[in-house]
Structure 1
Amino acid sequence: MKKLLSILVLSVACVTALHAEGFYTQFELGAGRLHGKATNGEVLSLPGVTSYESAKKDHFVAAVAVGYQYDLNEDFSYGAELGYKHVGKDAGTINNGGELSQQLNIVDALVVGTYHVNSELDAFGKFGGAFVGNNVSLTTPTRSQSITTVSLRPELALGAGYSVMENVQVIATLSHIFGEEHKNESNNSGIKATVPSVTMATVGLKYMF
């Protein structure tokens, strides 16, 4: 009987530790897809440039975040997190024989709501803002230029987490950042870059301290 009670107490302690209030950190890897005005992902306006074709549709994504979780009750938690995401370089060709590449670096601050489906499975949603930096480089037979555009954009995310051991979850997240509207204009340097929308699917680990 004492042995059974000890097992029950230990089990409750593990569940409580996983759902307890406190700081957490997480790291995820996955893929992201950029969305521009055109279906081919056009994000840059230049005189004489009418098309841009990316060499690939999906790009490597790495994401890291730290946050704090509060327990509202046994079923729901809420909190906030600060994160960084890197979207791998998108390189392709343009109609005038040149090459164009872009790369996104993202810093976001999100509010997080979590529903504890059971002692092992969580479902969560996130929303907030993301500072998105789009580093664009253009190379043609006659010029070589680069520009970085930074914009604050809204972000939404949905995901789930499954506990694999005390304080550790495997998580899967689908995120979307709403980009700027493409503009057919140029600045003094001859180029006008905009921040594209990006959809990211990632998996990783979450650790509760």
Structure 2
Amino acid sequence: MSTDGNIPFRKMNGLGNDFVVIDGRARPVTVTEAMVRAAADRSTGVGCDQFILMDKSGFADLRMRIWNSEGGEVEACGNASRCIADIVLSETGAEEVSIETLGGLLKCSRAGDGLIAVDMGEPAFHWTQIPLAEEFYDTSAIELQIGPIDDPILHTPSAVNVGNPHAIFWVEDVEAYDMGKIGPLLENHPVFPERANISVAHVIDPGHMIMKVWERGAGLTRACGTAACAG
């Protein structure tokens, strides 16, 4: 299939987080915001959360560029990394692949039963690395809330960067929050100079949690790999 009759593409998904993937390793491809928005539109285009370009890298096995559905380029995407790794590992027969991204070097490997694991690298917790617009000594619980001062709807999220900025609000019931309304407000809050991915999450036990994610530039998605790592 192709986006315009000339550029072949794949439609892939990781846990429901879906992508349009173009391979530019053999032939250079120029990606524009208009191209991304047209392909990502679920009514008139192919439909996707992120638009992915595979490209040559000077130091890794390949370079992956990522655009959210609104057309802005972003740093990292965990589920897209796993999809791209599956392509390359199937081509090469290798067990591991390195991927250059704006968020840093990622390594993916086969995990058995057809699964692909991704190492997103070390998380960044310092307020300047997330980044935040003002200094916070403890970014595990920053001063941020929405709603009445004496009875906020959400408050005191954890903030972290795992290739891109995230804020996680810890709640008892993730279904109690309308992320379609809350997400855009928090994504664009002044405390996040580069905007942020917004999650509500509940810890079930030490090995499991449930979360809903409003992705920066993409909206509510069915899954988000970097949000899972951030939590």
TM range (shorter): under 0.3
The structure whose Rg is larger is 1
Q: TM-score scaled by structure 1?
A: 0.25
| More helix per residue | 2
| More strand per residue | 1
